[in-house]
A and B are shown apart, each in its own frame.
Chain A
């Protein structure tokens, strides 16, 4: 039974990915803005527009262009950039690696930290520590990423001079050197997701701790730490997996703004530049990749939750 549930969720994920690709294509191609006019800007005359339309294949029916785009994308071919007339895919690849590097570093620090802090806050509910955590995290989920980033730059880079304010990142640097360069962007991302993840973990654990079986354990004389480890955690596992995946998905988006702040050569910054230039093939490619990561993480969250659910693991 559990396998069929997982299979269903996988199938739904694939279906969602397909719908997402359809949506991305539809938004960028069918919405009234005309690409040809957009590219030419002031220089648009009826003749040049017609020429460009022909060159881009815009006179083909939309479904045909979608099919070509999708089959290309599946094979890793995202077409030609309108900005520099070079294939999109090779330009994206290195930047995607950079983005994943930054996001992974942030995740590796944020996830364990958030879960343990969230657990502590839940166990010590109503304590001074819990209240402090609640208020500071409320503040930090409220503020934009660039505010945190600039605060860090102002105090840690400009005033104290500890870290570089720009992430002059290069793929040829050594690993440690790379780490040194991305301290501030990574720290920004950690602060952004940490608050979310911690609050959600706390809420999840509190929810489980309010269940009658936790009271029952206490009435059996089970010590507090054992109640948390043996009774609360196994049941909080599924929701916590969900929390983690949701926040990793959130990280995917947060990374865009952070990359721009620190001029980090990642996919986010690349996409923002492409949007400004209205370079549609590049925007489509970046959008599809971001969305695919997001959809996949959400799917993994659900599958993780299914696998961690005792009621599903041990069917009747």
Chain B
């Protein structure tokens, strides 16, 4: 299989398959889920495969598979929305800072520096203390915090491109700022930005999962993978693997995305370590 002229590696193919399955699960949940996500259908913590429950049941006797499907909807939905917002915010401001420069760049960069001087999880905890936890707040917090990283990358990539002589040629022609960003810079910034989108999605997805795991993210009755790990954690004491199922779901999706990102970065001659 090839993507825009490049042969996919096996790892990247596996990654794409994982992403596809997860997205399909999230989109199709209401149609393919065998039970209702909120109703008790069996005894508590049935192991996978027993009594026809493919992934067993949870701490309230609800079907784990159904909860996983609906959980994918919540977790992926929040992470994806937050990532898209962070890109809209971060890349526009980043490119503006790179092309306009001067005081605008100074101001934006200082703000971003300060935001980045505090660990993301700590900042998220602070905001949640002030605002309380709800899905819009979670999306907003993650989007803003993630956009600082997008800003950094867009600015750096934009600066690299802005000094290219083809951009200078466009300036000398008399082209406007907007045209230069849209036609000269953006097409060349796209490959690194797409790879970064994958990284940032993973980051957002892990953050929302961690917050839910800490009990500060998505609140019941919504199913969400991080929260499911937390709710079922006690099953481990009894030698049952219930919390490992949603935890593995989180791990598999992020590994899948990272496999694709790693392949894309490889094509661009970069590594994940460059973009941290």
Chain A residues at the B interface, C-beta cutoff of 8 Å: 16, 19-20, 23-24, 27-29, 31-33, 38, 135, 138-139, 141-147, 150-151, 153-154, 158-159, 165, 199-200, 202-204, 246, 249, 252-253, 256-257, 260-261, 271-272, 274-276, 278, 280, 283-284, 287, 290-291, 294-295, 298
Contact = CB atoms under 8 A, between A and B. Distances in A.
Contact of B122 (A151, A159, A253): A253
B251 interface: yes
Contact of A142 (B132, B255, B276): B255
- Which range holds the interface residue count of chain B? 35 or more
Given A257-B214, A276-B215, A287-B122, A19 B114 contact: yes
Interface in B111-156: 113-115, 117-123, 125-132
Contacts of A200: 273, 276
B210 interface: yes
A268 B115 CA distance: 20
18 contacts: A24-B126, A32-B130, A33-B131, A138-B255, A139-B251, A142-B202, A147-B250, A147-B251, A150-B233, A150-B236, A165-B236, A200-B276, A253-B120, A256-B121, A260-B214, A280-B129, A284-B126, A291-B118
A158 to B, nearest CB: 5
A32 B257 CA distance: 36
Given A138-B262, A142-B258, 9 more contacts: A139-B255, A142-B257, A143-B251, A144-B247, A146-B247, A159-B239, A203-B271, A249-B119, A280-B129
Contact of B119 (A142, A276, A284, A294): A294
Nearest to B241: A154
A45 B15 CA distance: 54
A56 B244 CA distance: 44
B98 interface: no
B131 A252 contact: no
Given A27-B130, A28-B129, A203-B271, A144 B209 contact: yes
A275 B272 contact: no
A298 B118 CA distance: 11
B87 interface: no
Contacts of B130: 27-29, 31-33, 280
B158 interface: no
B238 to A, nearest CB: 8
Contacts of A257: 210, 213-214
B229 interface: yes
A294 B125 CA distance: 16
B114 A144 contact: no
Contacts of A151: 244, 247
B86 to A, nearest CB: 18
Interface of B: 11, 113-115, 117-123, 125-132, 202, 206, 209-210, 213-216, 226, 229, 233, 236-237, 239, 241, 243-244, 247-248, 250-251, 254-255, 257-259, 262, 271-274, 276
A252 B202 CA distance: 20
Given A200-B273, A272-B216, A31 B131 contact: yes
A144 B250 contact: yes
- Identify which of A24, A154, A252 gathers the most chain B CB atoms within 10 Å of its CB: A154
B82 to A, nearest CB: 16
Contact of A144 (B115, B206, B216): B206
A26 to B, nearest CB: 10
**The 5 nearest A-B residue pairs measured at CB:** A203-B273, A143-B251, A31-B130, A147-B247, A142-B254
A138 B265 CA distance: 13
Given A143-B251, A158-B237, A253-B119, A287 B126 contact: yes
B260 to A, nearest CB: 11
Contacts of B248: 147
A275 B229 contact: no
Contacts of A32: 130-131
A290 B258 CA distance: 28
Contact of A253 (B121, B236, B273): B121
Contacts of B126: 24, 27-28, 283-284, 287
A119 to B, nearest CB: 15
B119 A252 contact: yes
A276 B213 CA distance: 12
A146 B276 contact: no
Given A150-B229, A272-B214, A278-B132, A290 B122 contact: yes
A144 B131 contact: no
B234 to A, nearest CB: 11
A266 to B, nearest CB: 14
Contacts of B113: 16
Nearest to B262: A138
A145 to B, nearest CB: 7
Contacts of A27: 123, 126-127, 130
B244 A298 contact: no
B142 to A, nearest CB: 15
Contacts of B118: 20, 23-24, 287, 290-291, 294-295
Of the listed residues A142, A151, A295, the one surrounded by the most CB atoms of chain B closer than 10 A to its CB is: A142
